[in-house]
Amino acid sequence: MSADFRMFRFCLCLLFLPLAWSLPLAGWVESPGYPRGYEPFSTLTWARCAPPGHALTLALTHLDLEDGYECENDALKVYADGSLISTLCGRMSLEELRSSVNPSLLSSSGGCLNLSFSADYSNTERHTGFRGFYTIQDYDECDDPNIECSHFCLNFIGGYMCTCPPGYVLDADKHTCSVHCTEDLSGSRRGQVTPPGSPGPYAEDAHCSYSLSVEEGLQLVLEFTEEFDVEAKPSGECADAVKIKTPSQTLGPYCGRVPPSPIHTGSSQVQILFDSDNAGINMGFTVAYKTDRMTCPKELTTDSTLEPKRQQYWMGDTVTVTCDTGTVVDEVVGPGIKTNMTFESRCQLNGLWEPLYTCEKVRCEEPTLLYPLKIQEPLSTLYGSEIQFTCDSNYYKLDSDEVFTCKADGLWKSRTGQTKIPRCLPVCGQTHSQISSGRILGGMEAKLGQIPWQLLIKRPNRAGASLISDRWAITAAHVVDNVNKLMLYGGMVVGNINPVEMETDKIIIHPQYERNKGTGDDHRTSFDNDIALLKMSSRVKLNANLLPICLPEKGAALELKMGTVSGYGMTENKDMSGKLRYANIEEYKKEKCNETPDNEKGERLIFTENMFCAGWEGRDSCRFDSGGPLFVPMVGMGKAEDPYRLKGIVSWGSDCRQGDNKGYYTKVQKYLDWIRDTIAKEDGD
C-alpha cells in the first residue's frame, strides 16, 4: 500500500468522522419479539433526526400485524417532522411495501422520523411484526418544488446553490439571475444599440440602460433598423419593453413586431431602457442613433396656436403663441388678474421653448348669493360652464330665470347678454288664507294670514304700515314726521300675540311733504304727498303670515270699485282695537272728495290729484289707522294672476265717529317712480 493511498483514506475518514460520531448513518428498527412474534399490549417508540442538508428515509422490509377496521387493533404509525404520514396494519409483501409505502417515509432536510407501535390485548393468530431499514442521505434540494433557481441548480452534500449562465449575475436573493447591462455612450454621435444576447434571442431578466449624450445645439435621432421582435402579451400589453427617456419626456413602452417610426428626441441627452422578464425566445431589436440640429416641439402648450406655422421649428426660431378663446396665459399681469392672450417664445439650444407659459381656462368669480338666492348644483366656474339660479323659498321668485354662462372675459352672461345676476324678489300680493270677504269702523276681525302685509306701529303714536318687500315698508308721512327710529310688528292679527318685530334703519319722507313745524297735524291745511318709506335694519324672514303687498302697476288703471282698508285703529265703539280689523269700501267720485272738512282752526283742508277718498255707509278708516293699507281687490278675491295691490295709504279725514264715512288716502300710483328710485339708491342697485 502506497503512502498516497493511505493519505487519501485518512482524509476521507477525517471528512466523515464528525457525522459518524454524532449518529449512525443507517440501521434497523423492528417490533418487539421480531421475528418470533410480539406479545399482547406490546409497544415501541422510536425517533431519529437528520443533520442539516440531509434527509432521513425508512424502508420497511417486512409487515405482519393484526388487521382491523382503520387499524384499530394493532398499528404502526409513522410521523415525519411531527406530522402523521402513514398508519399501517395487516400483511404486505416486500413488493407492495416498496411500491406504495416506502416512497413516502421521508423527512425534510434536517427533519425527523418517529415510529409508534402498539398492540391490543389478544390476537387469534401469531403475527411476526415489522422490520425496516433507515438511512441518512444527502437531501437533493434541486428536486424540491419549493426551491426555485431561475437558471441552474447545483446540489452538494448538505446543501445546494443556484448558478447563472455566462453574461448573467446572481442577484442578492441568491436565486435569480439577471443581466445588468448599463453602458455610457456619451460623446458618441453615431452608433447602434442591441440588447444582450444579440444576435439571437435576447437575455432573460435583463435590465439595460444605454446613456447617450452630445453637445448642446444637437439632438439625438433614433431609428429602429433590421428586425424588431420584443415580446408582447396576448392582450397587447408589453411583457418586455423598450423605452426612450429624455429630461422632459418618456416615450414608449414599445414591443411587438412593428418598430417605432424614427424618433427626433429634441434632446441632447437620451437613455435607451430595455427590460425583459424570465421567459421568451424573442430576437430583440437594433436601434441606430445619430445627431441632427436641435428642434423644438410643434406644440408649446395645449389650447393654443403658433404663428408662423411650420413643419419644423429649429433652434433660434421665434413664435407667437395665442391662447384659444376662453383661455388666458398663466402669467399674473396685475393683482390677481390674468388677461394676456399671447406671448412670444424662442427655441433654445436645449430644444425647449423659453419663456414657456400655459394657457389656462378662464375662471369666472363665484357669484355672491344673498338669501334666498341659490345655484343648482354642481357649480363650475370654468369658461363655458353654465349655472341656473333658483330661490330657496316659496315666498320668493326670480326676476329672471335665464341660464348664465361663463364667458371668455371672465363674466357670467345670460343668453341675452345680461351680466347682472338675477335676484329673488318676494312674492307679493298673495295670501295663504283665501277667506271670502266679510264686512276698522263697521268692519270684521281679520284672520291670521288673511292680510299678511299689515304692520302695526305702537309708538310714539299708534298707526299702521304695509310691507312692500322683505326690507321695506310704506306708511303715511305724518305718522313718522320728526321720528328717527321705529319698531314695527307684523305676522299677527292680535297686537300682542307672537309678533314679528322689525326695527327701522332709515325713515325717508317724501321730499315735497310739508313737514310738521310744531303746530300739529290738526292745524294742517294740506296732507299732500303724505307718504314715507321705512327701511328695515335687516331682511324680514317671510312666512305665511308675513308677506308683502304688490305696488300698483305703472300707468295701469286701478279703479276702486270695492277694496279693503285694514288696521288696528279705533272701532265704532270708540275703543282702541287690539285686533286687526278690515272693511270693504268703495272710491267716491271726485266731486264728493272735493267736499273736504275743516281743520280745528276752521280752515278748509285741500284735496289734490295725489289723493282719493273712499268709504261706505257705516264703514271707514278711523283714528290710529293712519299709514295703513287700502288695497284691491277686496279681501278673499285676490288670485295669482290678479294679486292684491296697494292703492292707497290711510292719510286724513273728518272724525270717523261723526259718521260721514269718508276717508282720504294717498294715491300710491302717483309715487311709483319715487318709491322705486329711492329703494334702488338705498339698496345700491
- State the Cα–Cα distance between residues 685 and 92, nearest whole angstrom: 110
- Consult the annotation and say whether 138 binds a ligand: yes
- Consult the annotation and say whether 141 binds a ligand: yes
Instruction: Enter the C-alpha cell of residue 272.
Output: 435607451
Residue by residue, DSSP assigns 523-539 as: G-SB-TT--EEEEESS-
What values do phi and psi take at 653, rounded to 5?
Answer: 165, 175
Instruction: Enter the C-alpha cell of residue 449.
Output: 294670514
Note whether 446 and 551 are within 8 A (CB).
Answer: no
- Consult the annotation and say whether 155 binds a ligand: yes
Q: Read off the DSSP letter of residue 421.
A: P
Residue 264 CA: distances (Å) to CA of 194, 221, 250, 268? 19, 5, 13, 10
Instruction: Enter the C-alpha cell of residue 634.
Output: 277686496
Of 470, 528, 530, 620, the catalytic one is 530
196 CB burial (10 A radius; 0-12, 13-18, 19+): middle
- Consult the annotation and say whether 240 binds a ligand: yes
- Beta strands, E only, 493-596: 500-509, 532-536, 563-567, 581-587
Q: Which helix (H) or strand (E) holds 15?
A: helix 3-22
Q: Which residues contact 7 (CB under 8 A, 6 or more apart)?
A: none
Q: Read off the DSSP letter of residue 99.
A: I
- Consult the annotation and say whether 67 binds a ligand: no
530 has catalytic annotation: yes
86 has catalytic annotation: no
Of 62, 127, 478, 510, the catalytic one is 478
127 has catalytic annotation: no
- Consult the annotation and say whether 159 binds a ligand: yes
- State the Cα–Cα distance between residues 648 and 665, nearest whole angstrom: 5
Instruction: Enter the C-alpha cell of residue 531.
Output: 307718504
- State the Cα–Cα distance between residues 38 and 126, nearest whole angstrom: 8
- State the Cα–Cα distance between residues 269 and 288, nearest whole angstrom: 15
Query: 681 by DSSP, 3-state: which?
Result: helix
SS (H, E, C) 426-455: ECCCCCCCCCCCCCCECCEECCCCCCCCEE
Note whether 617 and 601 are within 8 A (CB).
Answer: no
- State the Cα–Cα distance between residues 219 and 223, nearest whole angstrom: 13
Amino acid (one-letter) located at 291: T
Instruction: Enter the C-alpha cell of residue 445.
Output: 276681525
Q: Which helix (H) or strand (E) holds 96?
A: helix 94-96
Q: Read off the DSSP letter of residue 386.
A: E
Q: Which residues contact 112 (CB under 8 A, 6 or more apart)?
A: 47, 48, 49, 50, 56, 80, 81, 82
- Consult the annotation and say whether 74 binds a ligand: yes
- State the Cα–Cα distance between residues 331 and 329, nearest whole angstrom: 5
Q: Which residue has the cell 425508512?
A: 58
Residue-wise over 449-488: b if at least 16 C-beta within 10 A, else e? bbbbbbbbbeeeebbbbbbbbbbbbbbbbbbbbeeeebeb
Q: Read off the DSSP letter of residue 355.
A: S
**Cis status, amide bond into 552, omega within 30 of 0:** no
Q: Which residue has the cell 429634441?
A: 266
Of 107, 267, 626, 654, the catalytic one is 626
Number of H helices, E strands in the chain: 5, 48
**Which among 52, 53, 249, 20 has a CA at the least distance from the CA of 139?**
53
Q: Which residues are catalytic?
A: 478, 530, 626
The binding site for Ca(2+) comprises 66, 74, 120, 122, 138, 141, 155, 159, 231, 240, 277
